[in-house]
Amino acid sequence: MTRIRILAPDVVGKIRAGEVIDRPAAVAKELIENAIDAGSRLIAVHVGASPERLIRVLDDGAGMTRDDAAMSVKRHATSKLEHDRDLESIKTLGFRGEALASIAEVSRMTLSTRSAEDLTGTQVEVLGGTLIQVSGVGRAVGTTVTVEDLFFNTPARLRFLKSRDSETRALARVVWSYILTMPAIHWRFQVEGKEDVDLPLAGDFLERWALVYGRGATKGAEAGVPFEGEIAGILFRGVLGTPEQARANRDHQFFAVNGRVVSSPTLGAALRQGYMNLIPSDRYPIGLLTIEIDPSLVDVNVHPTKREVRFRDESRVFQSTRAAVEEAMRRYVPAGVGAGIGAGGAGRPFAGVEFAAPPGEASTQESGGARPSASQPLLDGLEMARALYAPPGALGADSMVAREGGIPGNDVAPGDVGALRENLAEPEIAIWQLHDRYLLAPIRGGLVIIDQHAAHERILYEEARERLFGAGGPTQHLLFPRVLDLTREELDTLLLHETQMRRLGYEVSLFGERQIAVRGVPASIPEEAAMEALKRLLVTADEDDASGDPPEERIAKTFACHAAVRSGQPLKPEERRALVDRLFATGLPHGDPHGRATYVRLSMEELDRRFGRR
């Protein structure tokens, strides 16, 4: 173990000034980072009901000798850095030797520690920066730092603290960000009166992640997408949230670079873009992204609190990260959806339409080759619809028309192809329904297969959001009002969310004590489906969830899911057409609100390949 030394003045001069201890969260961060640097397998964080009153971090790491313990609280005292050239490739989380000194200066700090080579431990007490006492103490190998009465001697900083709750929340985020990024450490985290968790070593990132983010997942859904890979010498590991877990803010994104939890606009943007357009542009994925990169390619000495890092080659890191995330998403999202929509990014909803990935195999294949060219034209909804219905001249399409257009198949003489072409002109083109579940439509370059439920869900979700976040939508009045019996809770939910229900298009009035009369339902969906969705909304609209989403968001999802046509429901030709038209008029036709595929495309090339034509 290297001894602690005071840094030479010329090295100090090259270090970005001081650890800023501005709030309890900063104390927790520094103490945790020290514990990690000490090689701890167990780290226990204990916080008082008011975090500025008490923060204690205990570890089972290397500990310090008596001399080192007394040194450690001095300014620029560190065992982690010697020469200024070491600054070029820092492998530890700390390096400035200032944290303990800065904390000790503004609090009552007690440090107790024992190294493996000592039989007894050492206790060091500092009050407002003044060393009070160094004494012997019996203890296990490791270190415990207790910080009490933070800012007792700097009342101005004390006044700047936010509410107890928000200081506790900020601190908890710091702790959780390390809990999540360091699954190979046994963590304990207690906040008096609030939190008490004991998390033994986890096998991998996903196992840890699932503890926090697995709960809200809908049944059967994954807690997240495990993520690992190497691109351009950078090793990526972590967990990506599913598209349906996307949030309205970035609070649930965690980044670590060589073990250091950082905030990084570069990584944030790369993460977002890696999701391609699987999530709406105003939402952010959740996830945990750790990267291991040659330390000499990272500058950690750019920010006073080391919260940010700079990469020597930002664009390389950005590109690699985006590609790694994108690849993981391609594997996660059913074939044909994720593939090929990458280059466009969120602002290009139809960027993937022309690509020809082999569905069914895209998921196992490398993504190479299935990428659209960057110069691909951007289609809008109308153009997309046109592309769908343009005469393909494909045999498969011809026979479909023969069936659906009421022309008996055997009536089609080989010479009638010209006439058939006429039939294929826009609105008449046939859309097949396969087993009351999938819609099949010929398109210019092949065939598109649409999941009717998923497609309708996407349509209704966007429609519902528009209504809920806007001025509302049209109501279809019922000839005979429908009366529903409600539970007390359902009635409360209804009263609480009355405005939202009205915006969706429901017209409801009280009718007796526990009954309501539904006089109108959202236009554009059948009455039965609307009633089903309403019943479901009254059960779930008020449910607590941890997503931080506005209720409108959840209401839109529930509504869409329960009002959409079921799989197994026969659809008339005009209903099929309307569904296809409306799907491609949405902002994100590729996936339903849960990130599942709405359609896959089968190209002529793929068919030809399968039939051995090329």
Instruction: Write out the residues near Mg ion by the rule CB under 5 A.
Output: 34, 94, 99
Stretch of 32-40, 225-233, 343-351, 520-528 contacting ligand ADP, by CB under 6 A: 32-40
DSSP designation for 121: E
| Cβ nearer to Mg ion, comparing 34 with 113 | 34
Distance in angstroms (rounded) separating the CA atoms of residues 217 and 225: 12
| Cβ nearer to ligand ADP, comparing 30 with 326 | 30
**Residues 545, 546, 547, CA angle at the centre, nearest 5°?**
95
Q: Could you tell which of Mg ion, ligand ADP, none binds residue 463, using a CB distance below 5 to 8 A set by kind?
A: none
Bridging pattern class, strands 287-292 and 253-257 = parallel
Which token pair is 294? Answer: 């040659």
Distance in angstroms (rounded) separating the CA atoms of residues 345 and 279: 10
Q: Does 4 help bind ligand ADP (rule: CB under 6 A)?
A: yes
Which token pair is 397? Answer: 């399409």
Residues in 95-124 at the binding interface with ligand ADP, rule: CB under 6 A: 95-101
> Residue 30 Cβ, how far from Mg ion at the closest point, in Å?
5
> Residue 25 Cβ, how far from ligand ADP at the closest point, in Å?
16
By the 8 A CB rule, do 410 and 561 touch? no
> Residue 363 Cβ, how far from Mg ion at the closest point, in Å?
45
The position carrying tokens 């999941």 is 451
> Residue 27 Cβ, how far from Mg ion at the closest point, in Å?
11
> Residue 167 Cβ, how far from ligand ADP at the closest point, in Å?
21
Bridging pattern class, strands 108-114 and 121-127 = antiparallel
> Residue 91 Cβ, how far from ligand ADP at the closest point, in Å?
12
Distance in angstroms (rounded) separating the CA atoms of residues 60 and 38: 8
Residues in 219-278 at the binding interface with ligand ADP, rule: CB under 6 A: none
Q: Could you tell which of Mg ion, ligand ADP, none binds residue 64, using a CB distance below 5 to 8 A set by kind?
A: ligand ADP
Distance in angstroms (rounded) separating the CA atoms of residues 146 and 158: 18
Q: Could you tell which of ligand ADP, Mg ion, none binds residue 454, using a CB distance below 5 to 8 A set by kind?
A: none
Give the residue nearest to ligand ADP (CB): 94
> Residue 370 Cβ, how far from ligand ADP at the closest point, in Å?
47
By the 8 A CB rule, do 277 and 351 touch? yes
By the 8 A CB rule, do 566 and 525 touch? no
| Cβ nearer to ligand ADP, comparing 59 with 244 | 59
| Cβ nearer to Mg ion, comparing 99 with 323 | 99
Distance in angstroms (rounded) separating the CA atoms of residues 387 and 392: 9
Of 24, 61, 352, 392, the one binding ligand ADP (CB under 6 A) is 61
Instruction: Give the sign of the dihedral formed by CA 272, CA 276, CA 278, CA 280.
Output: positive
How many residues lie near ligand ADP (CB under 6 A)?
24
**Which residues here bind ligand ADP, judged by CB under 6 A?**
4, 30, 34-35, 38, 59, 61-64, 72, 77-80, 94-101, 143
